């Protein structure tokens, strides 16, 4: 069996590639990084290092790689594979849509069905990829593609970094991982079984748990940590007061799951504890600038910070710590981050409350409350810790001056 995977980055090699190889697939990576492509082809494999006590390394074999610009070779591999997966970044899915369209139309002529699993850090990434392909198709072409292609949504979770050793890029990963796959969307006649994945009948609870707890926690430590002068996520987690604020934010988010799904409080509390423990792994040094990059995207209405706050708001549940974390994100500055620079420019030109409405698409009253926290913390950093003590009575929700 052979899998074609778009994206030979840390997640592609260190997570998806590992699971696929352990499930009996040979691997063909498609990427734009010629150095990594050459390395994989020269070595016919690559190392993964696990951030456990022994810093275990193991070898992934039966691997090759192709540059995505070599369209004909990519199409040839896509026609002749048993599974297609991605980890290219959600914003890049549209760039691989044309070659997938071409390959699938050729597969159609042979009646060769295929599962397509986009593994990106957004909700329903495979639907996004499917829609990007559909926009390129005539009605007849789309009918042909949908008769043989199964677009399967997933949720993934693993910290994956990289390092260079002996002129080789090595994927460095935490021991924990979770790959949740929508079983209902898979080709029912597929002839393979993925090992150590979670097949579910309903994706939404798992997608939201990843977004509203794991991604939300990571972003919260990044933005609050940056505000408090920490360089890494691990430093922020070790700070007792910073960690207390983030935990209170996650405790609020936990209430959404308790009201919405048949999840137990002990199960969710354990999941939160485990998430903080994982991200605080002392073997990892994760820059807050890396985790906090692209703040405009992360402050969108349905993303990791605003999404849970609005879900709680709509249910009449407490969310004051979430609004405070959002305010910290709007205070994020980084001259090397295009979105951070753009966001601060918008705040300067529009005023904080209008910028919040524009970026996060929240109702005026919610924007006003977030803006109140923003102004008070901006004027006095000590408000961060008084908020911890006072909760939702700490900041003035009156409309701030522009």
Condensed to tens digits (0 to 9), the pLDDT of residues 328-339 reads: 999 999 999 999
Higher pLDDT, 166 or 140: 140
pLDDT at 190: 85
Is 50 exceeded by the pLDDT of residue 251? yes
pLDDT tens for each residue of 62-78: 999 999 999 999 999 99
- Which region among 218-222, 281-285, 326-330 has the lowest average model confidence (pLDDT)? 281-285
- According to the model, what pLDDT value does residue 184 have? 96
Does the pLDDT value for residue 170 go beyond 70? yes
For the cut 80, the answer to whether the pLDDT of residue 270 exceeds it is yes
Residue 297: is its pLDDT beyond 90? yes
Which pLDDT belongs to residue 174?
Answer: 94
Q: Quick check: 264 pLDDT over 50? A: yes
Q: Map out the domains of the chain as residue ranges.
A: 2-200, 204-393
Q: What is the mean pLDDT of residues 140-148?
A: 98
Neighbouring CB atoms inside 10 A of 45's CB total 17
The CA distance from 383 to 390, in Å, is 10
Please answer whether residues 207 and 153 qualify as being in contact, where contact means their C-beta atoms are separated by less than 8 angstroms: yes
Residue 303, pLDDT above cutoff 80: yes
pLDDT greater than 70 at residue 245:
yes
pLDDT band at residue 398 under the 50/70/90 scheme? very low
Instruction: Decide if domain 204-393 falls under CATH 1.10.1040.10.
Output: yes
More confident residue, 402 or 4: 4
- By C-alpha distance, which of 375, 350, 289 is closest to 342? 350
Mean pLDDT of the chain: 93
Contact between residue 200 and residue 233 where contact means Cβ atoms under 8 Å apart: no
Q: What is the CATH number of domain 2-200?
A: 3.40.50.720
What per-residue confidence (pLDDT) applies to 167? 86
**Is residue 393 predicted with pLDDT exceeding 70?**
no
Same fold flag, 2-200 and 204-393: no
Average pLDDT over every residue of 215-243: 96
pLDDT of residue 94: 97
State percent of the chain over pLDDT 90.
86
- Residues 78-89 have a mean pLDDT of 97
3-state secondary structure at position 163: strand
By the 10 Å C-beta count (0-12 exposed, 13-18 middle, 19+ buried), 219 is classed as: buried
Cα(309)–Cα(390) distance, rounded to whole angstroms?
19
**Count of alpha carbons within 13 Å of 185, Cβ hemisphere only?**
21
């Amino acid at each position: 069996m052979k899998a074609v995977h778009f994206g030979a980055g840390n997640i592609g090699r260190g997570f998806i590639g590992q699971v696929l190889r352990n499930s009996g697939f040979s691997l063909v990576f498609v990427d734009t990084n010629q150095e990594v492509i050459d390395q994989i082809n020269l070595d016919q494999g690559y190392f993964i290092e696990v951030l456990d006590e022994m810093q275990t390394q193991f070898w992934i074999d039966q691997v090759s790689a192709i540059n995505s610009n070599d369209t004909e070779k990519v199409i040839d591999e896509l026609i002749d594979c048993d599974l297609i997966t991605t980890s290219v970044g959600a914003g890049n899915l549209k760039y691989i849509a044309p070659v997938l369209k071409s390959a699938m139309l050729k597969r159609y002529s042979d009646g060769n069905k295929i599962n397509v699993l986009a593994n990106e850090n957004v909700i329903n990434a495979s639907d996004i990829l499917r829609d990007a392909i559909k926009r390129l198709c005539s009605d007849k072409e789309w009918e042909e593609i949908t008769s043989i292609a199964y677009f399967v949504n997933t949720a993934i979770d693993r910290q994956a970094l990289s390092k260079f050793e002996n002129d080789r890029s090595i994927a460095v990963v935490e021991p924990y991982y979770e790959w949740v796959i929508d079983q209902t969307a898979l080709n029912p006649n597929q002839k393979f079984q993925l090992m150590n994945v979670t097949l579910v009948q309903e994706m939404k609870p798992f997608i939201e748990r990843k977004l509203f707890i794991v991604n939300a926690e990571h972003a919260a430590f990044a933005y609050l940590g940056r505000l408090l002068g920490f360089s890494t996520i691990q430093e922020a987690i070790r700070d007792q007061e910073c960690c207390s604020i983030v935990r209170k934010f996650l405790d609020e988010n936990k209430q959404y799951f308790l009201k919405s799904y048949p999840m137990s409080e002990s199960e969710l509390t354990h999941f939160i504890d485990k998430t903080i423990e994982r991200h605080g792994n002392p073997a990892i040094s994760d820059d807050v600038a890396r985790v906090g990059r692209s703040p405009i995207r992360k402050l969108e209405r349905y993303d990791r910070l605003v999404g849970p706050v609005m879900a709680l708001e709509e249910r009449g549940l407490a969310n004051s710590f979430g609004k405070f974390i959002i305010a910290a994100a709007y205070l994020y500055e980084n001259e090397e981050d295009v979105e951070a620079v753009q966001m601060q420019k918008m705040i300067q030109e529009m005023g904080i409350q209008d910028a919040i409405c524009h970026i996060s698409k929240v109702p005026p009253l919610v924007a006003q409350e977030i803006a109140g926290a923003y102004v008070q913390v901006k004027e006095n950093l000590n408000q961060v810790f008084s908020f911890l003590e006072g909760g939702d009575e700490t900041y003035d929700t009156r409309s701030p001056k522009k």
